[in-house]
Structure 1
Amino acid sequence: MQLQTIVHTIPPLYNSESRVLLLGSIPSPKSREVGFFYGHPQNRFWRVLAAVLGEEVPVSIEDKRAMCLRHHVALWDTIAKCDIAGASDTSIRNAEPNDIGRLLRESKITRIFATGGKSAQLYCKLIEPKTGVPITQLPSTSPANAAWSLERLIEAYRVIL
């Protein structure tokens, strides 16, 4: 698969009361198509987050947005622009970071978690030197991460509470 330049177009989900930030790498083709985070139906992110927060799994984008804000959880991605083949994080080249500092200034975010290895790696390289806020890497909820069962993912994500 050929590299394609992708520009992040989904705005961050947060408000002034957000306390925890979950960062992916960059939206997948399916997420870009639906216009919201973790849009692929096989991605376990929404099932994991709902279980951790003690909520029903949200279906609509509005329900997903409301659940996150109700629990002071912000969502965005580490990368603003990059070259990538499909949804393959391992293919990412020429990554340019999102302005995470702005979210930190406009909210009460004190803890940041990466929803996968590439997000954590690029955050450490491109963003942490500017913000000084460390990141904790969580396992990917992608179906490609088959080594992690839904139950193990839920347990790992409980650290956000």
Structure 2
Amino acid sequence: MALIHSFPPAAARDAHTLILGSMPGEASLRAGEYYANPRNHFWKILGTLVGAGPELPYPARLDKLTGAGFALWDVLQSCERPGSLDSSIVSSSITPNDFATFLAAHPGVARIFFNGTAAETAFRRFVTPTLPALSCSLHRLPSTSPANARLTLLHHLEAWQVLCPASLGAQCSRT
């Protein structure tokens, strides 16, 4: 089984919130884009919250997202995984991303949101023990993956609105 690798983070220096997935799925790896599977609700949700919808070209989506103070990355730098399911990740093959360096370069990150249980579990198991101190708040959101089909787009949007509290004001447009 071949080792697969995640993408570099999409982040501006002034990011306040980091959204973490576990590892890009096959469609994303083929496209070289975060959340490329058209059945994934991620870009539809971020389209509503910050105007980074799937109708925009991928670079424009990233610009909208990072322009609103959000950073996007994955917990895992590399792993072995047949298919796209997080449950198929081979635990012994996991290498996490370098969060100490990322957080030092983005000191304004005060909140970390996990796109699903697998991302949160991997972060707490493989990353948290490597960080001397973590001053960010950690929150798990329901996975936007098509594998989480029990939740409709409306349910996802309801849960994910926590990304845009009133204190962020105009950064979250809900367009």
Q: State TM-score, norm by structure 2.
A: 0.84
Q: What is residue 106 of structure 1 aligned with on the other side?
A: 105
Larger displacement relative to structure 2 (15-24 or 101-110): 101-110
Q: What is residue 30 of structure 1 aligned with on the other side?
A: 27
Aligned length: 157
Distance between the aligned counterparts of 2:10 and 2:158, measured in 1? 24
Distance between the aligned counterparts of 2:17 and 2:137, measured in 1? 12
Given the alignment of the two structures, is residue 115 of structure 1 paired with residue 115 of structure 2, yes or no?
yes
Contact 1:124–1:134 under 8 Å retained in 2: no
Q: Which runs of 5+ in 1 are unaligned?
A: none
Q: What is residue 57 of structure 1 aligned with on the other side?
A: 53
Q: What is residue 45 of structure 2 aligned with on the other side?
A: 48
Q: CA deviation at 1:135?
A: 2.5
User: Which structure carries more strand by proportion?
Assistant: 1
Say what the alpha-carbon RMSD is for the aligned residues. 1.5
Distance between the aligned counterparts of 2:129 and 2:65, measured in 1? 27
Given the alignment of the two structures, is residue 143 of structure 1 paired with residue 139 of structure 2, yes or no?
no
* Identity fraction in percent: 31
Q: CA deviation at 1:4?
A: 3.7
- Residue identity opposite 1:155 in structure 2: E
Q: Which runs of 5+ in 2 are unaligned?
A: 165-175
Contact 2:24–2:34 under 8 Å retained in 1: yes
Contact 2:35–2:43 under 8 Å retained in 1: yes
Q: CA deviation at 1:6?
A: 1.1
- Residue identity opposite 2:57 in structure 1: S
Task: Pick from 49, 61, 64 the counterpart of residue 67 of structure 1.
Answer: 64
Distance between the aligned counterparts of 1:143 and 1:118, measured in 2? 14
Q: CA deviation at 1:56?
A: 6.0
Alpha carbons of structure 1 residues 72 and 160: separation in structure 2 relative to 1, 3 Å:
same
- Residue identity opposite 2:123 in structure 1: Y
Q: State TM-score, norm by structure 1.
A: 0.91
User: Which structure carries more helix by proportion?
Assistant: 2
1:43-63 deviations in whole A, cap 9, x for unaligned? 11000112123x262421111
Distance between the aligned counterparts of 1:16 and 1:118, measured in 2? 27
Contact 2:4–2:78 under 8 Å retained in 1: yes
